[in-house]
Amino acid sequence: QPQQTAERLSRLMTARLDELFSLLPPCSKFADVGCDHGYIAQRMLLSGKCGHAVISDISEKCLKKAETLLKGEIEAGRATAVVSDGLEKLPADCDLALIAGMGGGLTVRILSEGEPLLSGFRELILEPQSDIDRVRAWLLEHGFFLAQENFVEEDGKYYPILRAVPGEKENLKAEELFYGPRLLEKENPVLREYLLKQQEQNQTLIRQLSDHSSEKAAQRLWELKEKEAVLESALARFHTM
């Protein structure tokens, strides 16, 4: 039965969820913040990667799907369901947190409001879906080091994944803040593909705006040229062009 459940769960896991799972290290008590369906928490338990899983979401309604999936684990005392806005109501002894599938602004809010609790975590795995530079900047300003990063494409969308651990601050260049120091160091091929697409879109917009003379168009053109410079710096880090 556990083998069948594991196989079924593996089929439910998308490329993005698979990559998130692969970056999660073994831990004692795992917290999935904003857990959605609860697939990752169940897989953490089935694989033996964690001894206990805490699933949390902002409302009882949001939490229901994961509670249903993990009903047996909750009844067996191997999982706990908590209605919590961010980290607020999580048990104090969680040592690994996953915050995935949210915008970068919300991710930063959760981290900021939960900062007093962060010292208890050995690692954070984050997958912000916008404002990635803001998330990286927050982590660096608050005592975290970007130990590992990955970049996944799924159905034409791109997802950065960050593994942050307590550590010394590093000073990042603009292209590293936006596109990831570890990704650029390793010349991540999915990131290169993404950068080339971004550059093509950016250059098209620059051409379209070059004929407009309004103040608003001039401001937008300046922003696009700034972005172009950062994209060029990022692509210059790849030796296979």
Give 198-219 pLDDT, tens digit per residue: 999 999 999 988 877 788 888 8
Any idea which residue has 């991710």 for tokens?
Answer: 107
Task: Answer whether residue 8 shows pLDDT above 60.
Answer: no
Model confidence at 4: pLDDT above 70: no
Residue spans of alpha helices (H) in the chain: 2-12, 15-23, 39-47, 60-69, 71-75, 104-113, 115-118, 132-141, 174-179, 181-185, 189-209, 215-235
How would you classify the pairing of strands 123-128 and 96-102? parallel
Computed over every residue of the chain, the mean pLDDT equals 91
* Prediction pTM value: 0.90
- Nearest Cα residue to 197 out of 158, 170, 155, 150: 158
98: how many CB neighbours lie within 10 A of its CB?
24
How high is the pLDDT of residue 225? 95
Indicate whether 187 pLDDT > 90: yes
Coil, strand or helix at 82: strand
The three-state secondary structure class of 239 is coil
Q: Which long-range contacts (CB under 8 A, 24 or more apart) does 141-145 make?
A: 141/169, 142/111, 142/115, 142/118, 143/167, 143/169, 145/169, 145/170
**pLDDT number for residue 15:** 84
Q: Does residue 87 contact residue 61 with C-beta atoms inside 8 Å?
A: no
CA distance 90 to 46: 22
| Number of residues in the chain | 241
Instruction: Return the pLDDT at 9.
Output: 53
Closest by alpha carbon to 129, among 36, 42, 67? 36
DSSP 24: P
Contact criterion met (CB below 8 Å) for 178 and 130: no
Residue with tokens 């990042």: 172
